[in-house]
């Protein structure tokens, strides 16, 4: 293990990213598409432009940590020390990172009497050739408008409560929904009675578009609403010139199968860790 001090390690890092970091992320461009997006406008970013990028937007969102696939133990130790110093888990920070680095963090933290563990296993998908759903759901998709704001806020609150992460205030959800409506990024699926039963959005990110907020009300599930909605939003994103990408919980087998059936291909894996 390297004998460098934490101050020496920090001196090796720059408080900015540039084209060198863009090239580093090219191999992991789908898996770390969110990192690529937030590192351009975030609360904190640090990079050595070779082996390590640490980036944080704000709570309740995780700290993103990118390391090269061939990271040495010394490089993992550097990532650990810098992350723990700036973003200690005791202050409610969590971390998105590759599995080998997660294993190092978990083992290393145990030596300090901390119990870090994996809270979410994530798959990263992309879709360059969408496949029309085999089953056409009743109803139709609908681009959200200002009059949909209250229903959207309720959907966003339900979505984040169910997945248990990134929970915010209703006011924050409203601000996000208002901006996404103005930009034309939010969509409902309405059933044949006109009731909004599922939601989905896309967010442009360079040449890609992140598909997210995929949620169907519990009482309206098993009718293929989300599958049909994601298919339509995927096509819209592609028509705008973007490559659609999305993250899923690896343990939600049914939803992953849903995405795969409409043409999404698995491109990477990562996880979220935090205090148990």
Strands 196-205 and 208-216, sheet pairing: antiparallel
The string of pLDDT tens digits covering residues 122-156 is 999 999 999 999 999 999 999 999 999 999 999 99
Rounded CA gap, 205 and 245, in Å? 10
Contact call for residues 32 and 205 (beta carbons, < 8 A): no
28 compared with 5, residue with greater pLDDT: 28
Strands 186-190 and 140-143, sheet pairing: antiparallel
CATH superfamily of 140-268: Gcn5-related N-acetyltransferase (GNAT) (3.40.630.30)
**Cβ-proximal residues to 98 (8 Å cutoff; 6+ apart), any chain:** 66, 67, 69, 269, 270, 271
**Cβ-proximal residues to 138 (8 Å cutoff; 6+ apart), any chain:** 191, 192, 223
The string of pLDDT tens digits covering residues 225-243 is 999 999 999 999 999 999 9
Mean pLDDT over 154-174 rounds to 91
Delimit the domains of the chain by residue range: 6-114, 140-268
Name the token pair of 87.
Answer: 């973003």
pLDDT of residue 163: 82
Name the token pair of 226.
Answer: 């989300």
pLDDT of residue 1: 47
Is the pLDDT at 86 greater than 90? The verdict is yes
Q: What is the three-state SS of 65-82?
A: EEECCCCCHHHHHHHHHH
pLDDT of residue 276: 83
The string of pLDDT tens digits covering residues 171-223 is 999 999 999 999 999 999 999 999 999 999 999 988 999 999 999 999 999 99
Contact call for residues 178 and 144 (beta carbons, < 8 A): no
276 compared with 267, residue with greater pLDDT: 267
Strands 52-56 and 140-143, sheet pairing: unpaired
Average pLDDT over all residues of the chain? 95
Name the token pair of 176.
Answer: 């996000």
3-state secondary structure of 48: coil
For the question of whether the overall pTM of this predicted structure is more than 0.85, the answer is yes
The string of pLDDT tens digits covering residues 88-98 is 999 999 999 99
Strands 208-216 and 116-126, sheet pairing: unpaired
Strands 265-275 and 243-249, sheet pairing: unpaired
Number of H helices, E strands in the chain: 9, 11
State the pLDDT confidence band at 2, using cuts at 50, 70 and 90: low
User: What stretches of the chain adopt beta strand conformation (E)?
Assistant: 44-47, 52-56, 63-67, 95-97, 116-126, 140-143, 186-190, 196-205, 208-216, 243-249, 265-275
């Amino acid at each position: 293990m390297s004998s460098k001090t934490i101050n020496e390690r920090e001196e090796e890092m720059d408080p900015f990213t540039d084209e060198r970091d863009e090239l580093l992320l090219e191999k992991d461009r789908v898996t770390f598409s969110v990192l690529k997006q937030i590192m351009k406008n975030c609360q904190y970013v640090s990079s050595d432009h070779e082996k390590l990028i640490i980036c944080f937007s704000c709570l309740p969102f995780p700290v993103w940590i990118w390391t090269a696939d061939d990271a040495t133990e010394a490089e993992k130790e550097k990532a650990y020390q810098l992350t723990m110093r700036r973003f200690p888990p005791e202050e409610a920070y969590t971390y998105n990172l590759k599995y080998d680095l997660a294993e190092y963090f978990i083992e290393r933290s145990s030596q300090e009497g901390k119990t870090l563990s994996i809270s979410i296993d994530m798959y990263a998908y992309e879709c360059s050739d969408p496949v029309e759903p085999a089953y056409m759901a009743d109803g139709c998709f609908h681009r959200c408008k200002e009059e949909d704001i209250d229903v959207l806020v309720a959907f966003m609150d339900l979505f984040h409560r169910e997945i248990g992460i990134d929970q915010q205030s209703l006011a924050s959800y409203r601000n996000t929904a208002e901006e996404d409506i103005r930009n034309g990024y939010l969509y409902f699926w309405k059933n044949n009675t006109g009731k909004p039963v599922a939601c989905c959005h896309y967010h442009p990110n360079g040449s890609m578009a992140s598909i997210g907020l995929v949620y169907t009300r519990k009482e309206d599930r098993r009718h293929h609403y989300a599958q049909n909605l994601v298919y339509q939003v995927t096509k819209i994103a592609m028509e705008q010139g973007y490559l659609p990408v999305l993250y899923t919980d690896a343990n939600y087998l049914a939803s992953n199968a849903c995405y795969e059936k409409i043409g999404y291909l698995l491109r990477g894996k990562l996880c979220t860790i935090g205090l148990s």
